[in-house]
C-alpha cells in the first residue's frame, strides 16, 4: 500500500478489506437475483429495481452510524468531557474509511448483507438490461465513427 493518496471507487476500497469468500458470496447472490428476476414479468422487475434504488449502501450505513455516535458523544460530552473521546473515535474511523476504505465495522456490515453502491448498481443495471431498457439505443456503426453517440438516450435509459 503506497503512502500517497490514490482515489479509488467505493467498491475497490471496501473490497480490499472484505474477505474474498464474502466477495464471492455477494457476486453469487447478485447472479442468483438477476437469474430469478430476469425471468419475472416487467412489474416484478420494476419492483425489484425500486428496492435496489432504495437499498442503503455500506457507506450510507457508516454515515448514519457515525452521525448517531457523534451526536450521542457530543450530548454526553455535556455531562462529562470523557464522552468527547467517543465522538473523536467515531469521526477518526470515518475519516480513515474515507481516505483508505478501512473501518472496523465493515466486516460486521458485510456479514449483515450491506453492499457497496457499485454492487447494488451491478444488479440494478443487469435487470434493466434484462427488461430491455437499452434495446432502443443504437450506437453509430464503426465506419461512421464521426457520428455522435446518442448520449441523451443512454443517460435516459440508465436513469429510467
Cα-flanking dihedrals φ and ψ of residue 115, to 5°? -120, 160
More confidently predicted of 114 and 17: 114
pLDDT-derived band at 1 (thresholds 50, 70, 90) equals very low
Q: Could you please report the per-residue DSSP string of 89-152?
A: HHHHHHHHHHHHS--TTHHHHHHTT-B-HHHHHHHHHHHHHHHTTTTT--PPPGGGTTSPP-HH
Q: What is the pTM of this model?
A: 0.79
Question: Residue 116 has which C-alpha cell?
Answer: 457497496
Alpha-carbon distance of 127 to 37, in angstroms, equals: 7
Q: What is the pLDDT of residues 46-96, one digit of tens each?
A: 999 999 999 999 999 999 999 999 999 999 999 999 999 999 999 999 999
Same domain, 51 and 119: yes
Total domain count, the chain: 2
Q: Which residues pair with 57 in a beta bridge?
A: 115
Identify the weakest region by mean pLDDT among 8-22, 120-134, 136-150.
Answer: 136-150
Residue 129 above 60 pLDDT?
Answer: yes
Residues 64 and 74 in one domain: yes
- Assigned domain for 79 exists: yes
The domain of 82 spans 59-114
Residue 91 near residue 66 (C-beta atoms within 8 A): yes
Kindly state whether residues 108 and 122 are assigned to the same domain.
no
Whole-angstrom Cα distance, residue 158 to residue 134?
Answer: 8
Residue 1 domain-assigned? Answer: no
Amino acid at each position: 500500500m503506497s503512502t500517497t493518496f490514490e482515489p479509488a471507487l467505493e467498491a475497490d476500497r471496501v473490497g480490499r478489506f472484505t474477505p474474498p469468500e464474502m466477495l464471492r458470496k455477494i457476486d453469487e447472490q447478485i447472479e442468483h437475483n438477476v437469474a430469478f428476476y430476469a425471468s419475472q414479468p416487467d412489474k416484478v422487475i420494476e419492483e425489484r429495481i425500486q428496492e435496489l434504488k432504495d437499498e442503503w449502501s455500506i457507506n450510507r450505513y457508516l454515515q448514519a452510524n457515525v452521525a448517531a455516535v457523534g451526536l450521542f458523544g457530543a450530548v454526553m460530552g455535556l455531562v462529562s468531557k470523557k464522552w468527547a473521546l467517543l465522538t473523536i473515535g467515531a469521526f477518526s474511523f470515518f475519516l480513515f474509511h474515507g481516505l483508505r476504505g478501512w473501518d472496523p465495522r465493515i466486516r460486521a456490515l458485510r456479514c449483515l448483507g450491506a453492499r457497496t453502491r457499485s454492487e447494488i448498481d451491478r444488479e440494478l443495471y443487469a435487470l434493466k438490461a434484462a427488461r430491455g431498457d437499452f434495446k432502443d439505443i443504437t450506437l453509430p456503426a464503426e465506419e461512421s465513427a464521426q457520428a455522435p453517440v446518442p448520449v441523451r438516450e443512454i443517460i435516459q435509459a440508465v436513469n429510467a
